[in-house]
Chain A
Amino acid sequence: MNSKTSSLTALVGLPNCGKSALFNALTGLRQKVANYPGVTVECVEAVLREDLGGGRALRMLDLPGAYSLTPQSEDENVTHEILVGNNRMGARPDALIVVADATNLRLHLPFVLEIVQLGYPVCVALNMMDLAEKSGMKIDAHALAESLGCPVVPTSALQQQGLQELAEKAAGLAVSAAKVPDDIKWSPSSREEIVARRKRVEDILRRTVLVPGTPSAFTAKMDAYLLHPVTGPLILLAILVLIFQAVFTLGAYPADVIDGLVGSFATYVRTGLPSGLMNDLLTDGIIAGVGAVLVFLPQILILFAALLVLEDSGYMARAAFLMDRLMGRVGLSGRSVLPLISGFACAIPAIIGSRSIQSPSQRIATIMITPLMTCSARLPVYTLLIAAFIPSLTIWGIFNLQGLVLAALYLAGVLFAFLFAAVLNLLKVIEGGGHFVLELPTYRFPSLRTVARGLIERARAFLVRAGTLILGIMILLWAISTFPRPPANATEPAIHYSIAGRLGRAVSPVLEPLGFNWKISVAMIPGFAAREVLVSALSTVYAVEANEDQQNSILTNRLKEDWSVATALALLVWYIFAPQCLATFAVMQKETRSWRWTLISFSALLILAWLAAFVTYQTASRFI
């Protein structure tokens, strides 16, 4: 769709004022939203109206949040370039919707005034009106519109209020005679201009805020404990341990059901189809491989549900605040915490999210340590090995040992990320502290719609991935585990003579000191495409190798027969460090624009993985 046949309206405003939530509510899309600043770091565009009249469409652009037009970080630079830059990033918007948080107008209005001065056709969305009203606040929107010289629409993206009117105003701006000046004049505000703007804001507030709101007493009470230097970190730790307990205890039942269904389906296909290559491909390759990953969907969804609830409730911003002091000791700041926490889901959006970090060296250091945060793709690997080798004991009457081990693996990732950052700090890679200012949002009950949408989106993405990349890799792995066929006088299992068998034995000398047999080596090779592929690959390799007695044995039992506990522990430790997700490093290279840092991070993590797994195996095999 080109700009001549469509009109472009951009959403701008401070971070965490609800731009993406409004964008989603207006366009019906599912752009990521969360209750903390800096979630959107690149522009996202969608069609708001197919036909404005005359065949013109109305497109909407969601811009990253910015505190002013003077950029301090990469994501603010995107907004700066599009609104007042030299147009290298794409078309200039035809109109703007400036989103302001109604509960915090004193902070938001200076940016609104700066935008209004540019000369764009503008409409202000007074968002989060539901929260403002709840706090007892009364705002005269008409008086505000008069003061600003542009239309003001009270909205609540979460409660779906004022959206129709806002969409009408956006369409009105697009078809109005008002046009963007050809030459947008902007220069960084001088100190006098900033002071004058602040004075004008105070004047506007006096005339438009009829009744000021009262701060949430609940938020103040909660923060007294949650941000306390002693109780705060303890509560954070307790929340993390609880999440991993839930992953194991709650996730076990639906996982068992899926496991049973996959097993029954495999038996049905195996007995229903004539034996031969197609039967083997379907049962050993596709059902065993893809099924092995699908079993972990409930656990992954429980983890995501917990993260989404923490994000939406406003707690995640507190977690960043709590970690700021600790991050300062290794040369980073709390600004790095939010991208790192999102690394628990996936390292890739976390690396992209680091654009909100102002200091370039802190940003590179954050990117380099992000792969150590335990992403959701590691969860199937950890869960499989823990279920097979760690007994399900109850500790102190309440904790499950398997859940505690899982929590320990996550914490180990965080700990080594700190150590890695400390080394980078010692080597003077990280320069310039910079300040960390973070708005702490009011606590709110998580939006069920946001959490449900997030979970559906992630479940869909997981299933698509299982049905495309993982399915494809499993078919290829089955093929290289099956061909060439064994000779007539074969004495070993068929897989021994296959390409995979030979490949596994070739790699084996490097991995043998870690206690990894050739089957683990084979499974690790496709595991570089994505970490969870290891689980599918192990399932396929053991299914191809299985004799008739072993065909109905589940994967955990086969692993228990074939591996020592020391091998399992070494593999768990390997996965804390192993850089086994090539997409992560492709994005790292794009974001840092440096092969040097990408290769340093990849090599360091690979060497660390080998050394840590070696020490674990050698130590554990002596004592266990």
Chain B
Amino acid sequence: MNVMDWMVFPVVAIAAVVVLRKLFEDNPHKGCSGCSGSSKAKQIRTTQRS
């Protein structure tokens, strides 16, 4: 294998981190194609109250 081929392993590791972060982030629908709330706006969480 040449040096370029070895590069696929760090790429795969970075992809794993990105996917895990995306799947476990607090706001899973941020960036969803159907949702339209602005990413700059701060959503105040209102579902956590007792």
Contact = CB atoms under 8 A, between A and B. Distances in A.
A191 B23 CA distance: 51
Nearest to A27: B41
A590 interface: yes
Contact of A44 (B2, B19, B37): B37
Interface in B4-31: 4-5, 7-8, 11-12, 15-16, 18-19, 22-23, 28-29, 31
B44 A42 contact: yes
Given A43-B46, A277-B5, A472-B15, A462 B33 contact: yes
A29 B31 contact: no
Contact of A469 (B5, B19, B35): B19
A407 B14 CA distance: 40
Interface residues of B, number: 33
A417 interface: no
A349 interface: yes
A306 to B, nearest CB: 14
A88 interface: yes
A207 B35 CA distance: 44
Interface string A20-45: 00000000011110000000001111
B12 A458 contact: no
A165 interface: no
Nearest to A465: B31
Contacts of A45: 41-42, 44
A583 interface: yes
A88 B12 CA distance: 44
Contacts of B15: 471-473, 475-476, 479
A583 B34 CA distance: 13
Contact of B36 (A32, A300, A587, A590): A32
Given A44-B41, A46-B42, A472 B16 contact: yes
Contacts of A591: 47
B7 A348 contact: no
Given A276-B5, A476-B15, A454 B36 contact: yes
B29 A346 contact: yes
Contacts of A458: 33-34, 36
Nearest to A346: B34
Contacts of A593: 47
A346 B33 CA distance: 7
Contacts of A42: 43-47
B47 A472 contact: no
A461 interface: yes
Contacts of B33: 300, 345-346, 376-377, 458, 461-462, 465
A457 B36 contact: yes
A372 interface: no
Contacts, number: 136
Contacts of A81: 49
Given A43-B46, A454-B36, A476 B2 contact: no
A250 interface: no
A254 B42 CA distance: 35
Contacts of B1: 276-277
B40 A278 contact: no
A375 interface: yes
Contact of B31 (A278, A281, A468): A468
A89 B41 contact: no
Contact of B34 (A277, A375, A473): A375
A152 to B, nearest CB: 27
A89 B23 contact: no
A615 interface: no
A44 B36 contact: no
A529 interface: yes
Contacts of A338: none
Contacts of B41: 29, 31, 44-46
A44 B27 CA distance: 14
B2 A32 contact: no
A349 B16 CA distance: 27
Contacts of B35: 345-346, 348-349, 461
Contacts of A348: 28-29, 32, 34-35
Contacts of A276: 1-2, 4-5
Nearest to A464: B31
Contacts of B28: 348, 582-583, 586-587
A487 interface: no
A461 B32 contact: yes
Contacts of B45: 42
Interface in A444-467: 454, 457-458, 461-462, 464-465
Contacts of A464: 31
A90 interface: yes
Nearest to B28: A583
A345 B34 contact: yes
A520 interface: no
A256 to B, nearest CB: 21
Contacts of B43: 42-44
A46 B42 CA distance: 7
B11 A274 contact: no
The 4 closest A-B pairs by CB, nearest first: A346-B34, A345-B34, A475-B15, A583-B28
Given A89-B49, A300-B33, A464-B31, 10 more contacts: A276-B2, A277-B4, A278-B5, A345-B33, A346-B32, A348-B28, A376-B33, A457-B38, A458-B36, A582-B28
30 contacts: A29-B41, A31-B41, A32-B36, A43-B46, A44-B43, A45-B42, A81-B49, A88-B49, A274-B2, A277-B5, A281-B8, A345-B35, A348-B29, A348-B35, A349-B35, A462-B33, A465-B31, A469-B18, A469-B23, A469-B31, A471-B15, A471-B18, A473-B15, A476-B12, A476-B15, A479-B8, A583-B28, A590-B47, A591-B47, A593-B47
